[in-house]
Amino acid sequence: MRRILLRCTVRNPGWLAATLVVAVMVLYALMALPQQPAQSGPDTVTINGRVVDAQGQPVNSAVIRLRHRDDFGAVETQSDANGDFAFTALRKGSYLITAEKAGWRSPEAAIVVSAEVQRIVDLVLKSQDNVRPESGDSSGQTMEFSDRPNFTVAGVTDWTAVGGHGSDTILRTSEALARDVVTLQPERTHVAAAATGDGNSEAKLRAVLAGDPGNFDAKHRLGEFYLDAGRYAEAVPFLEGAYQIDPKNFDNTYDLALACKGTGDYSQALNEVKMLLTYRDDADLHRLIGELDEKLGDPLAAVHEYELAAKANPSEENYFVWGSELLLHRAIWQAQEVFRSGVEAYPKSESMLTGLGVALFAGAIYDDASRRLCEASDRDPSNPEPYTFMGKVEIAAPNPLPCIEPRLARFAREQPQNPTAKYLYAMAIMKSQQKSLAPEATQQAAILLQKAVELDPGCADAWLQLGILSFAKQDFKAAINDYRKAIEANPQLGEAHYRLGVAYDRSGDQAKARQEFELHDEIEKAQADAVERQRKAIQQFVIAPSGQTAVLPEQ
């Protein structure tokens, strides 16, 4: 897992600040909204179905999840002793449905219902018990691609219907975490064929080429030297020169594609790699084509290439990039399927466990999400990344999650100079108290938050929380100071402006209060607009069960 530089502030641009007291109550309401059935009427429909095993026998107490394609949240029900279930008073449209029970799961089905039709759905559970033992080192194991996906990515659609739902706070968290997961992909660096030494210095290589300008090896080695150094623009002309001499040399053409990618010339890079694919059907080529397709704005082609890469070579990296691509484009249940297979194949992979945890969170399966993230942190307790993911999940989830608080306590204990560790542990303590903080918990959280801002005065979120604690004690002067510190660290922290306005109002300064409220409204509108633009830039995959044709929504 690639290490990334962390600051205390864990918010991504566009996130709504997650705080205690009012925020917890709001989150309860937000999470409830997507799960409320529509009022019965002429435009509603009932979905009846039955859950059975592979032999056709009914399955009792299976959990069935149903999600409208335009909604983030899922509704759930359970099958009865006859395997029967029902969802009532639903609005018409396109839905995704799946069932699970104790290691068994049905393929996700896409169904279309209308106001005039009752749709009957049968879900067949299939075994998920193909878990590989955790003994030994799985990092270099070879395996066959035996887990055939139960879905097909059949198209893309835009996100015009996403905004406005009650779960938008959690949706924004999920979107940001999906983008963060992509950064966990191992960064592959080009490895030169020849060992670095005096003979491979830039001056020596140029001298060789000057003495023999038509020498393929000299051009290729000098281009490779610049490629290894990340000097892509300088690498391209030498690799192109070598290509003119020997266009069928695989290594040189591959290097040229990497150099073109490095310069941002994705179309040329794609042309080079596709030509190589005519010589050799290779997993690395499919993965690189997928990366370039994504850069060129063709995620549908990209995800198909990632799937081909995983089938050709079910490596940890190929599973991960495939699952990440599905998650990024909101094929949530399919991303879970791929990450589960990846975890089974590579149970020691922190990245795979983190990806699965984020995919589960995106599907509102919060307890399982937290367990997977805790497992990821246990693989390497010194790695801050899984802790950061679990901290964000804990803040956004409607209830305290199992296992997270003790893991964040470990994070704070083992990394005493990390302000993020102090902040996240403080938030977990306050979240565990829910509606009323015990005095000792308040004091412990305040100490942690104070330590966070001492380690990083730019930790806006910690200043915000200190202000909330001061305000709760009716110490408006201290709260105003803390909120101002938060705004100084992050002028775009809308909640700090709003709470500062409230504190000014309580202190009798209505003019300053109005000013802060106006700033809050401006920031919230700008951030909402930015989120909407970001959503429209990332198209959503349309999924169909294997062997079936998806119903593409009207654009």
Q: What is the pLDDT of residues 127-153, one digit of tens each?
A: 644 323 333 333 333 334 445 676 788
Full set of structural domains in the chain with CATH: 36-158 (2.60.40.1120), 198-279 (1.25.40.10)
Q: What would the DSSP string read from start to end of 337-354?
A: HHHHHHHHH-TT-HHHHH
Q: Give me the residue label for tokens 């008073």.
A: 89
What would the pLDDT profile of 268-294 be if each residue is shown by its tens digit?
Answer: 999 999 999 988 889 999 999 999 999
CA–CA gap between residue 167 and residue 161 (Å, rounded): 13
Max intra-chain CA distance, the chain: 85
Contact 154, 334 (CB under 8 A): no
Comparing CA positions, the residue from 423, 358, 425 lying closest to residue 397 is 358
What is the value of pTM for the model shown?
0.72
Q: Give the 3-state secondary structure of residue 113.
A: strand
Residues in CB range of 165: below 8 A, 6 or more apart: 33, 34, 71, 72, 73, 171
Q: What is the mean pLDDT of the chain?
A: 81
Alpha carbon 43 to its chain centroid, in Å, reads 35
CA–CA gap between residue 158 and residue 552 (Å, rounded): 11
* Greater pLDDT, 266 or 15: 266
Contact 502, 464 (CB under 8 A): no
CA–CA gap between residue 343 and residue 178 (Å, rounded): 17
Cα dihedral across residues 399, 404, 409, 415: positive or negative: negative
Q: Give the 3-state secondary structure of residue 365.
A: coil
Q: How many CB atoms lie within 10 A of CB 529?
A: 11
CA–CA gap between residue 6 and residue 143 (Å, rounded): 35
Q: Average pLDDT for residues 174-183, to the nearest whole number?
A: 90
CA–CA gap between residue 221 and residue 404 (Å, rounded): 50
What would the pLDDT profile of 337-378 be if each residue is shown by its tens digit?
Answer: 999 999 999 999 999 999 999 999 999 899 999 999 999 999
Cα dihedral across residues 152, 154, 159, 160: positive or negative: negative
